[in-house]
Structure 1
Amino acid sequence: MANKAFSLTELAIVLTIIGIISSSAISAGISQTDSYRYEQTQAKMKMIEEAIVAFVGLNKRLPCPGNAALNIDTSANSSTYGIENFSGTTCTGTQTVNVTANLPAVTPAFTDANIVMGSVPVQSLLLPKEIILDGWGNKFDLVVSRGLSNNTTLPAIDSQESGVIKIKRFTNPGGAVYVTNGAAYAIVSHGPSGAGGYNRSGTRASAGADAKKVENAHTSGGYDEVFVLNIPNNSTTFDDVVRYKTKTQVLFSLGVTLSGNSCNNAYTALSNSNQTNPLNLLCFGTANAATGTINSSADCNVYMLTFSELVRKRCITR
């Protein structure tokens, strides 16, 4: 029995089917790869945020960004990449932007109306080297409110400074509706395209023509305190991933709800510093509205001292 050969028509049909299957498989593979890289990016961002909280708890300030222009694979940079970049006690990072003109008049006034951008200081945060890169192999940008990051005598996070970074949604990029007007820090991945970000060698890619990419890269035309969220992801050209926290959120992550002078004043008012005779100042002596004395009973002392210890647990110690 003779073998039957494929006709040209049959061969064309078979090749078409193979092409469709291959194309679908490749598309599915690309989709799965992008999904994995996005998940990897989010996982790294979470690790960075947890490290930032731990750093604040230990140092009483936000970490200062590193120099993003350094090649992380050059041995000469091994002791400097991923390290906080200071000039004296002032955080400098890679780029500093003064945003005084864009801030509202508040009391007390902002004493440091600057934001600082740079790479994640992974060595200072005791994180592995590769955490400096997102899932697509480009460096994350760490942006901080400088007043909360300066290495001053008064712990920055324990001062009256608040964040000056503004976060707004992509759905209203040109408006004035913001998610928050006072973020303490932001972490930015420049997404699959990497446009506007630094690669591992320290070379910065052009942000391109997308106004939102330019905004997040803070290149020409984007020198301000605003960063844009892409939630939900509804753009083919704007692919950045952004996470942020306010000062309050950072403190809450530490279990802290009081900071600064208010904490010290509250504890002083609630407990006497003389531990050999721990009479609460509000309970000492005869009740007197003029002096602020409430009650001299033993129960008052016990209750107020217990409360003062609860207050102390909510404070950042100096």
Structure 2
Amino acid sequence: MKNPPFQAPKNRGFTLTELAVVLVIISILIGGLLVPLSSQIDARNSHDTRAAMAEIREALLGFAAAKGYFPCPAIPTIASESPNAGLEGGRNAGSCIHPAGVLPWATLAVAEKDAWGRRYSYRVTPEFSNAPPLLPFNLSSIGDIKVLSSAGGVAVATVVPAIVISHGKNGNGAYTAEGTQLPEGSDADEIENRVLNTSTGVWSDGAVAKEFVKRVAPTVTYDDEVVWIAPGVLFNRMITAGKLP
């Protein structure tokens, strides 16, 4: 009896159902990797921005210790690489023409942008930006900036000489390197932290003049980073540098 001729097994491909199952599994695996990676990037950006703002704070204190006053804000609408970009703004009789704007990164020799690629907002009290400074300081009126826990909330700090703000990942209200301002968003606390470019070209504070918000923790709509210089810290540096008796 003859054996049947040998037949090679037929190559059976995947069915559509099997391919669909494989794709679903791959999607789940990739999604599980991307979520932690995104969180890690956000955490790193926040950490890097806080570190940069700590350096900015020291640069501002160093400038004040050397000069006796803080630099004026830079004009926010000047694009990077353009003339005067990042340099402190003009003065009139020694006082800053614009007390609010963006950080004068070129004057201070610090980073222009936060980890998300947007400029830092910056406001300084006129008493501490006059050049030369009006000495002695009136201790009852120094620092016209107030930091709140929320819009209309309790005061976190008062009589603040200078404040710096990163507008966080969402960038609401921030100025870009091109000199344009991003939309302000709908969060009342972030609106409070923006720099407002008025129709007359005057840069001022947000909805409530000279008040800013530093929340204890970020929320779904609020992710600003805020640092300020307390008057006691400033006086200590200036006394050490011989700028105050």
Structure 1's 174 and 59: CA in aligned 2 closer, same or farther, altered over 3 A?
Answer: same
Is the contact made by 2:144 and 2:210 (CA closer than 8 Å) also made in structure 1?
yes
Partner amino acid for 1:174? G
Aligned residues: 226
SS in 2 for 1:242: strand
The aligned residue for residue 163 of structure 2 is: 186
Q: TM-score, with normalisation over the residues of structure 2? A: 0.83
Aligned Cα root-mean-square deviation (Å): 2.2
Return 12-21 or 83-92, whichever deviates more. Answer: 83-92
Whole-angstrom CA distance in 2 between matches of 1:35 and 1:45: 15
Partner amino acid for 1:68? P
Q: TM-score, with normalisation over the residues of structure 1? A: 0.65
The aligned residue for residue 272 of structure 1 is: none
Q: How does 1:26-105 map to 2 (within 5 A)?
A: 26-74=34-82, 77=83, 80-88=84-92, 89-93=94-98
Are 1:12 and 2:20 counterparts?
Answer: yes
Structure 2 gaps of 5+ residues are: 1-8, 199-205
Partner amino acid for 2:40? Q
Partner amino acid for 2:105? V
Whole-angstrom CA distance in 2 between matches of 1:154 and 1:184: 14
SS in 2 for 1:142: strand
Cα deviation, 1:46-76, whole Å, max 9, x if unaligned, reads 11111111111110111211111100133xx
Are 1:316 and 2:227 counterparts?
Answer: no
The aligned residue for residue 299 of structure 1 is: none
Is the contact made by 1:66 and 1:82 (CA closer than 8 Å) also made in structure 2?
yes
Whole-angstrom CA distance in 2 between matches of 1:239 and 1:217: 13
Is the contact made by 2:161 and 2:230 (CA closer than 8 Å) also made in structure 1?
yes
SS in 2 for 1:197: coil
Is the contact made by 2:116 and 2:168 (CA closer than 8 Å) also made in structure 1?
yes
Aligned with residue 169 of structure 1, among 149, 158, 166: 149
Whole-angstrom CA distance in 1 between matches of 2:18 and 2:122: 58
The aligned residue for residue 172 of structure 2 is: 195
Partner amino acid for 2:118? N
Shift of 1:316: 2.9
Shift of 1:123: 2.2
The aligned residue for residue 210 of structure 2 is: 225
Structure 1 gaps of 5+ residues are: 94-115, 257-312
Whole-angstrom CA distance in 2 between matches of 1:24 and 1:153: 57
Shift of 1:3: 4.1
Whole-angstrom CA distance in 2 between matches of 1:314 and 1:12: 71
The aligned residue for residue 103 of structure 2 is: 120
Identity %: 29
Shift of 1:250: 2.1
Whole-angstrom CA distance in 2 between matches of 1:133 and 1:123: 11
Is the contact made by 1:218 and 1:224 (CA closer than 8 Å) also made in structure 2?
no
Whole-angstrom CA distance in 2 between matches of 1:200 and 1:54: 25
Shift of 1:20: 0.8
Highest relative contact order (Cα 8 Å, sep 6+), 1 or 2?
Answer: 2
Is the contact made by 2:127 and 2:133 (CA closer than 8 Å) also made in structure 1?
no
Whole-angstrom CA distance in 2 between matches of 1:195 and 1:187: 15
Structure 1's 201 and 218: CA in aligned 2 closer, same or farther, altered over 3 A?
Answer: closer
Structure 1's 92 and 24: CA in aligned 2 closer, same or farther, altered over 3 A?
Answer: farther
Is the contact made by 1:119 and 1:132 (CA closer than 8 Å) also made in structure 2?
no
